A and B are shown apart, each in its own frame.
Chain A
Amino acid sequence: MKTKELIIKCQNGDQAAFSLLFEEFSDIVFSMAFRIVNKEDEASDIVQETFISVWENIRKIDPDREFKNWIIRIAVNKCYDLLRKSNYKNQAINNDFILAQILSEENTPEEQLNNKEIGDIISLIAQELSPKQKLVFVLSELEEYTQDEIADMTGMNKSSIKSNLNLARRRIGQQIEKYL
């Protein structure tokens, strides 16, 4: 069933259709939230809050509009609020050997990183970033959204996105150098 039809059904109070929407979009939301907040429990909470917000506001959305951008925008705002509230810079990372291992390998191994490894590495390299810089870095470099999409999701203008991304790259580069 198409997303548009699901949205129309949800607007009429169909919870089964909402369940299908959750099935389709929860992975995308979780992935993005986890890469920003780096903790599975917090990312799960963000997914939960995001979908409840979606249900509460589903009547406001135009079914012809891009649903993915809308739901990601809700989740991004929740992630940003969490980053601003929590003192995430002070999170202690003891698992930095995985970063050293990846950086020391000549060719990137085929095997994928697990959630914990991904979370630890992002926490480590992004520990000096501001919430905005981290948000822009994850959305642009890891989630591969365009600058227009990021501007739409975060409400930031393009020049701000560019400057935050450049600063984020520079600071992450400096962080990486420690492990080279």
Chain B
Amino acid sequence: MNREDTYKKLTRKLRESNVKFAKKEEIGQKVLSQISEGRDTKKILLKSFYSWTEVKWLRWSISTAAVLFIAIFFSQQVLISARLSKLEGQLVKTENNVQSGEKSIPPSHRLIMNLISDRKFDSVTVSKEDLEDLFKEYMNLQEEIEDLKNGADLKHFMDSVKENPVSPKTNKNL
């Protein structure tokens, strides 16, 4: 008998020999119990997950809270966008004033003037009087600096030194 005939004989023998499933009952029971358990577990999980929806007051309060949160969120968005656009407008206006304002007034003064004029658009808590005082003080200081530069006060200072000679101690302090 050659190799091919032997191969055919062997495969026929293997084909014709029926394989017996000895544990059929046992495996069948295992499969059925597993699919039952699986379904029960699924049911229990689903029930525990969604059981709160059966409580009416909880369902209503959670829904109301959700609606409130959504409303708050949207109103905040509106406020933020309005605030941003206002700030953007102020920025443009300030920039324009600083760049194209009256040339005789220094930019720093123009900025302060601008702030005062825009006070009504802003919620800065400094009063108008305070700002005006600050502005006046600033202007006085500016004038004094200008005077010092021109030497007016230097002359006055020299006169006062002549009238009241300064002690070495005082000079030391100067």
Contacts and interface: CB of A to CB of B under 8 A. Distances in A.
A121 B14 contact: yes
Given A142-B14, A172-B7, 10 more contacts: A15-B32, A26-B28, A27-B24, A44-B23, A48-B31, A103-B9, A115-B20, A176-B6, A176-B7, A176-B10
Given A40-B22, A102-B10, A23 B28 contact: yes
28 contacts: A18-B32, A22-B28, A23-B28, A26-B24, A30-B21, A31-B18, A35-B14, A40-B23, A47-B21, A48-B31, A52-B35, A52-B38, A55-B38, A102-B13, A103-B6, A108-B13, A112-B16, A112-B17, A112-B18, A117-B17, A118-B17, A121-B10, A125-B10, A142-B11, A173-B6, A173-B7, A176-B3, A176-B6
A52 B38 CA distance: 10
Interface in A136-167: 141-142, 144
A108 B23 contact: no
Q: Could you tell me the dominant secondary structure of chain A's interface residues?
A: helix
Contacts of A56: 38
A64 interface: no
A35 B15 CA distance: 10
Interface in A1-34: 13, 15, 18-19, 22-23, 26-27, 30-31, 34
Contacts of A35: 14, 19
Contacts of B12: 108
Report the interface size class on chain A.
Answer: 35 or more
Interface string A43-63: 010011001100110000000
A30 B24 contact: yes
Nearest to B19: A31
Interface of B: 1, 3-4, 6-7, 9-24, 27-28, 30-32, 34-36, 38-39
A115 B19 contact: yes
Contacts of B18: 31, 112
Contacts, number: 96
Contacts of B39: 13
A74 to B, nearest CB: 13
Contacts of A102: 9-10, 13
A102 B11 CA distance: 11
B10 A103 contact: yes
Nearest to B4: A173
Interface in A93-145: 99, 102-103, 108, 112-115, 117-118, 121-122, 125, 141-142, 144
Given A27-B24, A173-B4, A176-B7, A48 B17 contact: no
Contact of A34 (B7, B9, B19): B19
A26 B13 contact: no
A92 interface: no
Interface string A164-178: 000001001100110
Interface in A76-99: 99
A15 B35 contact: yes
Nearest to A32: B19
